[in-house]
Chains A and B, each alone.
Chain A
């Protein structure tokens, strides 16, 4: 008899959760105790250690979404669509984090919450593209046409990502560029804190995508069971 795979958390998810739980206290210690306070901006600069890795996590999720969407367009296998939808949602979450923590830092650093700086504008634009992807998919149960259209939208949104990254270098805005090689660099202790935060966020974004994908696959399974039952006429006389 074939053993049915339980829909519980897999070993990878458990390992990643454990890893995140261990790295998080280390990251917080590095940010708030080990890393020094920045000279000109003061304590508010510590937003940097969550703001920049959030943007990095957003990149990972959106790239994953675009790659899986491309594979889905070629292979038409629902599992790729599930990973794509999960990645888009997680990416949108990190995009919201970036767009909310950034203005709070900017309020102190620039004196305003928002400015139409190239990097800020391109990030907002990319976020809006992926939000429209999620809205498109949320119109009832996404059919084949909606999925394909959403996949195209994801690829279009991902094309914006290099634009965000190189916008600071191309159109000199007000956004800091200390880690893109254009600025004066980071203090060694700040770099350590940032690196640990990057490790934490890498694990976190992969963990969230895996868990969300698992949920999406479960939903696909539910839809399949419902469709099969309806086709066989088993749901006709049910209460």
Chain B
């Protein structure tokens, strides 16, 4: 049994070393590929931030934004309605439970009074 534990510890240490010695980052992963072709643009992005020249036009899909907006709207509304429904059910349940408990306590007291 002790031998098995030793073997497991050894295996864990070897795995840890292998993980640490692995090349890190996307650039290193690419360089490890056969041929060592590194995407120059990706590599540059890790090392330097450059200012854009001229007007930068970024295309954002209006349909996607519309879809996200409507999804948020309906999601919020449904979550709120569910929240109210759950709160109502919980409160109603508590009222009923409390009323039953109070009724039983009062009955018990009446019985005790009659016995006395």
- The interface of chain A, by Cβ under 8 A from chain B, is 7, 41-44, 46-47, 50-51, 54, 93, 96-97, 100-101, 104-105, 107-108, 111, 208, 211-212, 214-215, 218-219, 221-222, 225-226, 229, 234-235, 237-238
Contact = CB atoms under 8 A, between A and B. Distances in A.
A215 B95 CA distance: 12
Main secondary structure of the interface of B (DSSP, over half): helix
Interface string B47-58: 000000000001
Contacts of B60: 107-108
Contact of B65 (A96, A105, A219): A105
Contacts of B80: 93, 208
A222 B73 contact: no
Nearest to B56: A111
Contacts of B73: 50, 54, 97, 100-101
B55 to A, nearest CB: 11
Contacts of A44: 62-63, 65-66
- Interface core residue of B65, B72, B81 (most chain A CB under 10 Å): B65
Contacts of B63: 43-44
B78 to A, nearest CB: 11
Nearest to B98: A225
